[in-house]
Structure 1
């Protein structure tokens, strides 16, 4: 791709679309998260490569003239270094000024079509959440889960639209809008919530990959080798750490393309297998219409699945006609209701009370196609994890580091060590959450995602747009609903996490360990366990 660009050739259209998709994470929640050290005159960044996405930015002076004037003002001589500290700082300030003016321009927009916006939204929403919905339906019951999922989807859509209308009224990022309307404390609160939610996603992804790889290794070794989830979580660092140090998102375009291809293949195969199970049985498995014990877990998982508020503003900015985005978003959300609702109901109907948190583990583990899908889906999520981590890293780095690492090797390596520390923090959290993945996912959704999805957009719309009594009343109602849902579901999830665990989930065709039996997956007496 880079070679083609150097030779003056266009990128393949598919890769071009994926770079546009990665642009969204470089401007997550509308924030400018690109690093200054990547933005020199010789190395284009996603922002420069994807200029059409932001064509029409209303600036008083062409960017090339701004950069030329800032460099020319340094008056270099033959003895002047090619890149002095002052030149680097001046160029960084010029780029920062350009980006700030571009982002805050009310009239700025991109050239993404409606079709491209639809594809970007689908890529943003479809990931691991769809695989957790089968267990979520078990936790809530078939009827209750169906109703709640539709309600959560509609409330999420309503909230996203409130944020879009607030964006139309007040330019800037999610945090900028909050800061303009309520003060800096609101901006910091929004950014903190984004960081917490993204780190929660990363931790959940690490657990997901570890559990799938555990089942995969058990299957291919015919139950002779059981690797603990803790070991597999640490093993992911071999790939995760190098990818987390990547600062130019364009370099992740290939991994993002591969990951989405694997996810698509995995979902198609999973749905076909679930339908086949129901047909062969001649009906659905044992199901409940309502599960009075575990239903709070459903709410958090549903919010986790529909969480995508961080990409609402960048996709709006990327569109050629931003005013069409509400209709585009509405259509996509209605499709996702069918997709997610169908996925959860189909999985629960196929496997009933025996369903695993990750439904892939319910498929025949001795099947080679199942093993292939399990491995490829795990690899896809592992390759997607750095993309989820990127916004949190950049928000934290922007808050903690003033200087760029372009002119200071010490600053650059300090940032690298900081990234390593954050990654290890996610690993520690995932190890503690691995015991009950479904409860951990629900907790992330309840505690971190609910305020972002429901409370903050309503607060912004209330102050920026709401004029009538109905608008103000509905905004207040959404705020109260969001806060009540966050508090109630978080408390209930914590109680369920603290309760004694029931029987362990089946490990494919292998005998599942029982709590307190001394013969569990971490026991050296596990039948055929290798030294892992």
Structure 2
């Protein structure tokens, strides 16, 4: 296998694991239980091949590059929803709870890393496992009654990853449409929201039908630049548009249904756990990833600080009128505000094909294996599947036009399971194999995390569905 083919294979693996930003070059291919002998031979061959090792070292990422990838993969449409997040959590309540959620996320990500490392150690020839494979292997090597669940657990994780990516794509349609609709209406173009969304369908459809990643990934950098510009410009307008209202006019704390919506939005914004394993494996010094002042802790601290700053400023400025995307609060009559809305919408639009590619990397392989027609006409069938999935995301976005409710629903249901529930189950399974591995502190800590997660899933999902039904009525 030549170096170019290896690199492309590694890039595809990184995208499958959920990279929402730039493609990551994974330095070692994943192990599969049925291919352990072949991979062991490959590993031995690479160890004897200086040129292969040189290629791996050349494509390994530095600490700064890994931090940049993690930052870009964790900051997206959820960042623009921080104003709505603060509206549901309160100025003080959200400021206190966001760091708590961040700490829980980081701790669960560390449990996922630990489980992956143990699975790799116990699998001869394996060098890397992504999220679904880690879950499968941990259950496969776990207590005997749980081993039968290994395949099912992998499918569950893949399903949640796929649903999360599907939700991202649908949310992108809503985000683009709402900003574009305001600008068109201000400039005398009177068309409905549905028609505006239909206009965005064709531009989103064309790049999403491409099956080769190298034609899609270059837009990632442009998307991130546009999003960053949109955020900075929006916050600048918020600061310069007259004196800020007094904090006494805003809710400091909330409760009940609002807190459940806050939890869903916050988890949606922090959802980057699928990036953790590919990022760590792509580094020149993987041990630097999860050190006390390593890539994970420092980057999550910066992300949390940015979320708090954005949410606090947005809610203080616009109060109960803050929208699901803070760009929607900009005065549309102002020309600069119109430019900001368009640029932010473009940033999200350029990110749509990447998010869609992640979803297809999950859906296409099992369909190809189980369908003879897909094996005979792979390109044609994949393009058809892509067309159907784009139309499905479009239809869901058309049916549920409220961006903030959509974000809360996806965050409460899927993001919570991926970020909290699955890592805790991995921790229980791996520690159960070690004598006295499950101490009282471990039990208490994991049960508390599970309780918070289940409460968030039930309350957040219920409240989001109730509010969506109200919108229909």
TM-score, reference length from structure 2: 0.82
- The corresponding residue for 1:218 is 185
- The 8 Å contact of residues 405 and 411 in structure 1, kept in 2 or not, is answered as no
Change (3 A) 1:403 1:491: closer
How far off is 1:304 after superposition? 0.4
**Which of the numbers 225, 231, 238 marks the counterpart of 1:267?**
231
- The corresponding residue for 2:405 is 439
Using the alignment, how far apart are the partners of 1:481 and 1:313 within structure 2? 24
**Which of the numbers 415, 419, 422 marks the counterpart of 2:386?**
419
Q: Which structure 1 segments of 5+ residues have no match?
A: 1-5, 7-15, 31-45, 67-97, 502-514, 516-532
- The 8 Å contact of residues 137 and 345 in structure 1, kept in 2 or not, is answered as yes
Using the alignment, how far apart are the partners of 1:135 and 1:206 within structure 2? 19
Change (3 A) 1:408 1:296: closer
Using the alignment, how far apart are the partners of 2:43 and 2:306 within structure 1? 46
Using the alignment, how far apart are the partners of 1:20 and 1:156 within structure 2? 29
- The corresponding residue for 1:94 is none
- The corresponding residue for 2:459 is 488
2:106 maps to 1:151:
no
- The 8 Å contact of residues 259 and 384 in structure 1, kept in 2 or not, is answered as yes
**Which of the numbers 425, 436, 457 marks the counterpart of 2:423?**
457
**Which of the numbers 308, 326, 335 marks the counterpart of 2:272?**
308
How far off is 1:306 after superposition? 0.3
Change (3 A) 1:285 1:200: farther
2:422 maps to 1:428:
no
Using the alignment, how far apart are the partners of 1:298 and 1:354 within structure 2? 16
Greater helix fraction, Structure 1 or Structure 2:
2
2:263 maps to 1:299:
yes
Structure with larger Rg: 1
- The corresponding residue for 2:220 is 256
Using the alignment, how far apart are the partners of 2:206 and 2:373 within structure 1? 19
Using the alignment, how far apart are the partners of 1:450 and 1:108 within structure 2? 35
Change (3 A) 1:192 1:335: same
**Which of the numbers 324, 327, 342 marks the counterpart of 1:360?**
327
The CA RMSD over aligned residues, in Å, is 3.4
How far off is 1:455 after superposition? 0.4
Change (3 A) 1:285 1:267: farther
- The corresponding residue for 2:144 is none
Q: Deviations over 1:227-274 (max 9, x none)?
A: 322222222221222211222222223311211111111111112111
Using the alignment, how far apart are the partners of 1:403 and 1:109 within structure 2? 38
How far off is 1:139 after superposition? 2.1
Using the alignment, how far apart are the partners of 2:373 and 2:62 within structure 1? 36
TM-score, reference length from structure 1: 0.73
Q: Which structure 2 segments of 5+ residues have no match?
A: 31-38, 121-128, 140-149
Using the alignment, how far apart are the partners of 1:60 and 1:370 within structure 2? 55
Change (3 A) 1:131 1:262: same
Change (3 A) 1:395 1:282: closer
How far off is 1:29 after superposition? 5.4
- The corresponding residue for 1:246 is 210
- The corresponding residue for 1:323 is 287
Using the alignment, how far apart are the partners of 1:405 and 1:237 within structure 2? 30
2:351 maps to 1:384:
yes
How far off is 1:362 after superposition? 1.5
Q: How many residues are aligned here?
A: 425
- The 8 Å contact of residues 28 and 310 in structure 1, kept in 2 or not, is answered as yes
Using the alignment, how far apart are the partners of 2:83 and 2:429 within structure 1? 39
Using the alignment, how far apart are the partners of 1:367 and 1:20 within structure 2? 47
Using the alignment, how far apart are the partners of 1:22 and 1:283 within structure 2? 49
Using the alignment, how far apart are the partners of 1:364 and 1:29 within structure 2? 35
Change (3 A) 1:254 1:317: same
For residue 364 of structure 1, give the secondary structure of its aligned residue in structure 2. Answer: coil
- The corresponding residue for 2:34 is none
- The corresponding residue for 1:181 is 138
